[in-house]
């Protein structure tokens, strides 16, 4: 991918396990924030939480957390400061985070009388998958399977948070033309409310997203069955076209004075003599 909109930010996969589905009635039993800080340092925050209520057996059978597991562990308010510090100004990535995890988090902060953290952006991989028109099912397990991600320990906060972050990177790599925008604009795009990149999306992959010819240092790229120039005044033009209109440029490109390594020169020459 030519440009990663996540570079330079703290990026954290986020997931919760809870006692049920209603933020007003149920509570958090586990949270995880997994990713990296601005400088690339790994970050891993993951803890069990005492929900101060019984965990229904049918829920425990899903995430594997039982009343005995949370007996004696801190309640959520004791984790709030470290969670808030990690999330403040960060890019938070979650699957169905807008409709599930974030409302639960908000309810817990409200109970504790603390202000919610303000991330730079919240990226919902469920919305992104739908926006990209990836065929259903869009649950995390099926999407991970589609993109070749091993999801061991599914329905534990740490495993789901890590898988969600990896899923985002996989979707970005597979559909780079949709992510040539600032990270703060991605949530609006995934909601369908940001149309400024619609023309770019229709055009498909940018030149910088095309596969490099080995040893060309970005000067030559592979576009389907053709080689195109990736830099300089003839950027975007094919070798076949330049053979007709600017052969001297190709002579320079393939000469010892040019920017190509020997392997790329051989590739260029083989294309020219076809």
Residue 231: per-residue pLDDT? 84
Distance of CA 222 to the CA centre of its chain: 25
Residue 16: per-residue pLDDT? 98
Which residue spans of the chain are classified as CATH 3.30.420.10?
Answer: 11-200
pLDDT in tens, 72-87: 999 999 999 999 999 9
Q: What is the pTM of this model?
A: 0.72
| Cα gap 6→168, rounded to integer Å | 10
pLDDT in tens, 94-153: 999 999 999 999 999 999 999 999 999 999 999 999 999 999 899 999 999 999 998 876
| Cα gap 58→60, rounded to integer Å | 6
Backbone angles phi, psi at 106, to 5 degrees: -60, -40
Q: Do 164 and 95 touch, CB atoms closer than 8 A?
A: yes
Residue 164: per-residue pLDDT? 97
Q: Do 34 and 44 touch, CB atoms closer than 8 A?
A: yes
CATH architecture of the region 11-200: 2-Layer Sandwich (3.30)
């Amino acid at each position: 991918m030519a440009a990663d909109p996540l570079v330079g930010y703290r990026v954290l996969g986020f997931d919760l396990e809870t006692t049920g589905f209603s933020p007003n009635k149920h509570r958090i039993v586990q949270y995880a924030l997994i990713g990296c800080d601005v400088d690339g340092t790994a970050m891993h925050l993951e803890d069990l939480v005492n929900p101060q209520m019984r965990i229904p057996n049918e829920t425990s059978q899903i995430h594997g957390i039982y009343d005995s597991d949370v007996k004696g562990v801190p309640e959520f308010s004791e984790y709030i400061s470290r969670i808030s510090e990690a999330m403040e100004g960060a890019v938070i990535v979650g699957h169905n985070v807008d409709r599930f995890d974030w409302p639960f988090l908000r309810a817990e902060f409200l109970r504790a009388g603390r202000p919610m953290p303000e991330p730079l952006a919240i990226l919902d991989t469920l919305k992104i998958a739908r926006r990209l028109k990836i065929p259903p099912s869009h649950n995390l397990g099926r999407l991970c399977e589609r993109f070749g991600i091993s999801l061991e320990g599914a329905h534990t906060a740490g495993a789901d948070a890590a898988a969600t972050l990896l899923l985002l990177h996989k979707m970005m790599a597979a559909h780079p033309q949709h992510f040539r925008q600032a990270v703060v604009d991605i949530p609006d795009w995934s909601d369908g409310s940001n149309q400024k990149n619609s023309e770019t999306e229709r055009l498909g992959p940018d030149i910088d997203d095309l596969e490099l010819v080995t040893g060309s240092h970005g000067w030559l790229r592979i576009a389907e069955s053709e080689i195109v120039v990736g830099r300089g005044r003839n950027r975007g033009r094919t070798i076949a076209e330049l053979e007709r209109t600017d052969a001297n440029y190709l002579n320079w490109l393939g000469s010892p004075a040019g920017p190509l390594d020997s392997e790329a020169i051989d590739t260029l020459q083989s294309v020219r003599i076809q």
